[in-house]
Structure 1
Amino acid sequence: MGWSGSGSRVVPSALCAALVLTGCQNTPGTTPSASATAVRPSGYGAVFLAVGECSSSGATRAAEVPCAGERAAARVVARHDDRAENGPPCPAATDFVLHISESRPSADEDGDGLVAGGYACMRNLRPPHPGDPGEGGGPRTVVGDCVYEAGPGEVRETACAGTGGRAPGYRVTDAVTDRARCPAGTGLYVRLGGERPVGCARPV
């Protein structure tokens, strides 16, 4: 989400990316940590897409696969049994979000015909990592990301290198508790959420 530099109207600020269903960018976030990818080894088969397990890639559907297998494309870094708009935000290093149906017998792991619904926060096993700072993607806006003004009171994330089709206008340099704590030279305020919900962005 983003705020314009002078106004306070909150507007949708993200492009959407998906494997199973869409997960919009720019939900609350902070700077990614390398430890976000250091999850436990896969427990493939125990629970459908539990933390540490891996999925295949696919335009309309992703299956759980062994992390050591050649089909493995991404690993679950967080899993929540709720709708993404109602549940906790994904970790900052998340590359995309998978939305999981409440009933998918073909993916059932324990034979009861049901798979817990919710969403899985995914990290690609190999580059690119759109959720990393400045890469122009992922479900969160974080310190180091770049945005451009998409309209009155609206910003969207784009790659800082200018490879996302739109040139960056601002880079988020700080995350603070309120606007008054932003440093001099801040030209735009961006909603990050979390304990430091205000992103201070400078022109680039």
Structure 2
Amino acid sequence: MHVGSGRGTRAAFAAAVVVLLAGCRGAPGGGAEEGGRPGEQAATVSPAPVLPSGYGAVFLAVDECSSFGRTSFTEVSCRSERAAARVVARHDGTVRDGPRCPATTDFVLHISEQRPSADEDGDGAVPRGYACMRNLQPPHPGDPGGGGGPRTIVGDCVYDLGDGRVRETACDGSAEREPEFEVDRAVDDRSECPASTALYVRLGGSSPVGCARPV
């Protein structure tokens, strides 16, 4: 949905954004998925939120960029020196109900709905949605083994939190927690994992089960 392009309109339609699943610089935690040892159920690990502002005719459209800040993310021109991450996919609605972000997404921004009472051309509403973001420069926590991102994928490493829960960490040992297991394949059902599998990780998607081995 388009937003009025005037300077006053841009200021009026700044959308509140929350980092739902953070793997970016300055954001806590990494992508975490449900998982467990054979026969166990797991719980989802929740990340912490951060808030920002906006810019441009369409708020955080595909191929547009955002800056990073200590407490906010602002839409900026991708040619700006402040540009730090690019939108690789953009969907209306909620992450829970909408399409999954691309596998190597570094972090996800949730965009709160904004419906101003007045604007220049009458189409200034910003619908509720989310933007899948990719850092313009390394590090890329969404890459396999990167230790973060909103999705756990083949090549990622995790450590056991207990009670059937796991959290992603960098495979190279550079994060605060050492890796304990690596997801080496994705299958349709646990029965398809090899006998050497020590941990099942819920990945979602067309092959929802990750078979993880000790590292």
After TM superposition, the score normalised by the length of structure 2 is 0.76
What residue number does 1:6 align with? Answer: 38
What residue number does 1:125 align with? Answer: 136
What are the within-5 Å matches in structure 2 for residues 72-91 of structure 1? Answer: 72-91=83-102
Report how many residues are paired: 179
1:135 paired residue among 138, 146, 163: 146
1:49 paired residue among 37, 50, 60: 60
Deviations along 1:129-188, one digit per CA (max 9) or x if unpaired, are 111111110000000000111012111111111222111110000000111111231111
Whichever of the two has the greater Rg, that structure is 2
Structure-1 separation of matches of 2:137 and 2:50: 16
Contact 1:20 1:99 in 2 (8 A): no
C-alpha change, 1:72 and 1:103, in structure 2 (3 Å) is same
Deviations along 1:34-71, one digit per CA (max 9) or x if unpaired, are xxxxxxxxxx8341111111111123322211111111
> Amino acid of the residue matched to residue 151 of structure 1?
G
What residue number does 1:187 align with? Answer: 198
What residue number does 2:156 align with? Answer: 145
Coordinate RMSD, CA, aligned: 2.2
In the TM superposition, structure 1's runs of 4+ consecutive aligned residues that sit over 4 Å from their partners are 108-111
- Once the 2 structures are TM-superposed, how far is the Cα of residue 19 of structure 1 from its aligned partner? 5.1
Structure-2 separation of matches of 1:109 and 1:192: 45
- Once the 2 structures are TM-superposed, how far is the Cα of residue 18 of structure 1 from its aligned partner? 5.6
C-alpha change, 1:140 and 1:60, in structure 2 (3 Å) is same
> Amino acid of the residue matched to residue 105 of structure 2?
T
- Once the 2 structures are TM-superposed, how far is the Cα of residue 112 of structure 1 from its aligned partner? 3.8
> Amino acid of the residue matched to residue 47 of structure 2?
C
Residues 1:16 and 2:47 aligned together: yes
Structure-1 separation of matches of 2:121 and 2:86: 21
Residue identity (%) = 65
Structure-1 separation of matches of 2:49 and 2:133: 11
What residue number does 2:175 align with? Answer: 164
Contact 1:15 1:157 in 2 (8 A): no
Q: Secondary structure of 1:122's match?
A: strand
What residue number does 1:196 align with? Answer: 207
Deviations along 1:62-109, one digit per CA (max 9) or x if unpaired, are 22111111111100011111112221111111101111121176xx99
Q: Unaligned 5+ residue runs, structure 2? A: 1-32
After TM superposition, the score normalised by the length of structure 1 is 0.80
Structure-1 separation of matches of 2:121 and 2:71: 24
Structure-1 separation of matches of 2:59 and 2:121: 9
